[in-house]
């Protein structure tokens, strides 16, 4: 079975309500929700999740959930709350790891809550510049996946894991730098992750999509999406402008 292509925009802490509404009405003509081969999604700030849900026909992605189920955690938003609006949630984004001290233990708790509340995690992983330069990036990536994804009890059940998981390779040095990883660098890591999943989960890993993220735009989307084992893009800066994002969707559509 050929995997779907995912084009996911991560808006981070950007856009006002008016911006979100404008974007949604313009993007609707491009989105291909329901198409069997292309899934378009956007991840707005949590406060705008209801706007996306009500006004659009593409997939809703949350940027974050709390690692706690409910209770006295002022300012937090739980997986069950998010699941009323979103289908996917980003887990393990490097900005959350770096600025909010999210450790692997916290990420495991979030994944368990995703599965409990029917949210599909888009699990982000990737090495720092230091690790890339040192050359130990594959072992760092292996560790990130083994300590989180492969240690969640549910993911040891291949059929469950492979139908409810999206991975996103995002080298930290490529995020927001206008310097994407090269096709060879992307392929090396994606192939490595595929082999790792085959070893750990068995053949069913064929269904786990692996996206690439880090300075993707309409100029490089075709090249990156053309690499073997790249099943989509997680796009930050270039997803903020509707015309630009639409161009990338169009490229993905044409490539299939």
* Catalytic residue list: 93, 170
Largest CA distance in the chain: 48
In the bound state with ligand PGA, the residue whose beta carbon lies nearer, of 125 and 201, is 125
Q: Applying CB under 6 A, does 214 fall inside the site for ligand PGA?
A: yes
In the bound state with ligand PGA, the residue whose beta carbon lies nearer, of 214 and 232, is 214
In the bound state with ligand PGA, the residue whose beta carbon lies nearer, of 145 and 170, is 170
Q: Applying CB under 6 A, does 107 fall inside the site for ligand PGA?
A: no
Q: What is the DSSP string of 96-145?
A: HHHHS---HHHHHHHHHHHHHTTPEEEEEE---HHHHHHT-HHHHHHHHH
Stretch that binds ligand PGA, among 112-120, 168-176, 197-205, 222-230 (CB under 6 A): 168-176
Place of tokens 């510049």: 129
Of residues 220 through 239, those in contact with ligand PGA by CB under 6 A are 234-238
Q: Which of 127, 244, 123 is nearest to 181 (CA)?
A: 127
Q: Which residue is nearest to ligand PGA (CB)?
A: 236
Q: How far is the CB of 45 from ligand PGA (least distance, A)?
A: 14
Q: How far is the CB of 11 from ligand PGA (least distance, A)?
A: 10
Residue span 120-159 as binding mask against ligand PGA, x where in contact by CB under 6 A, dash where not? ----------------------------------------
Question: Which one-letter DSSP state was computed for residue 78?
Answer: -
Q: How far is the CB of 158 from ligand PGA (least distance, A)?
A: 27
Residue span 11-50 as binding mask against ligand PGA, x where in contact by CB under 6 A, dash where not? ----------------------------------------
Q: Applying CB under 6 A, does 213 fall inside the site for ligand PGA?
A: yes
Extract the tokens encoding 80: 């069950």
Cα separation, 237 vs 153, whole angstroms: 34
Cα separation, 14 vs 195, whole angstroms: 36
Cα separation, 49 vs 44, whole angstroms: 6
Q: Applying CB under 6 A, does 10 fall inside the site for ligand PGA?
A: yes
Among 39, 102, 127, 170, binds ligand PGA (CB under 6 A): 170
What is the number of residues in the chain?
256
Among 62, 89, 175, 230, binds ligand PGA (CB under 6 A): 175
Does residue 88 sit in helix, strand or coil? Answer: strand
Q: What are the CA-CA distances from residue 182 to residues 131, 177, 179, 213, 231 (Å)?
A: 16, 13, 9, 12, 16
**Cβ atoms of residues 176 and 213 within 8 Å:** no
Q: Applying CB under 6 A, does 215 fall inside the site for ligand PGA?
A: yes
Residues forming the site for ligand PGA (CB under 6 A): 10, 170, 175-176, 213-216, 234-238
């Amino acid at each position: 079975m050929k995997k779907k292509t995912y084009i996911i925009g991560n808006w981070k802490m950007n856009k006002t309500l008016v911006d979100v509404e404008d974007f949604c009405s313009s993007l609707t003509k491009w989105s291909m929700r329901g198409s069997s081969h292309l899934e378009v999604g956007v991840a707005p700030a949590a406060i705008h999740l209801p706007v996306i849900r009500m006004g659009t026909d593409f997939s809703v992605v949350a940027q974050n959930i709390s690692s706690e189920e409910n209770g006295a955690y002022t300012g937090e938003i739980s997986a069950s709350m998010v699941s009323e609006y979103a289908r996917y949630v980003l887990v393990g984004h490097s900005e959350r790891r770096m600025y909010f001290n999210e450790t692997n233990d916290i990420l495991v708790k979030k994944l368990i809550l995703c599965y409990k509340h029917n949210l599909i995690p888009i699990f982000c992983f990737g090495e720092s510049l230091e690790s890339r330069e040192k050359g130990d990036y594959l072992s760092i990536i292996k560790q990130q996946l083994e300590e989180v994804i492969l240690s969640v009890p549910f993911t040891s059940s291949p059929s469950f894991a492979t139908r409810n998981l999206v991975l996103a390779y995002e080298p930290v040095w490529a995020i927001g730098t206008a310097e994407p990883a090269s096709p060879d660098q992307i392929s090396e890591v994606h192939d490595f992750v595929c082999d790792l999943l085959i070893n750990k989960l068995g053949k069913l890993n064929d269904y786990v999509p692996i996206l690439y993220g880090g300075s993707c735009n309409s100029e490089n989307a075709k090249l990156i999406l053309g690499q073997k084992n790249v099943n989509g893009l997680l796009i930050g800066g270039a997803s903020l402008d509707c015309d630009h994002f639409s161009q990338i969707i169009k490229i993905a559509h044409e490539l299939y």
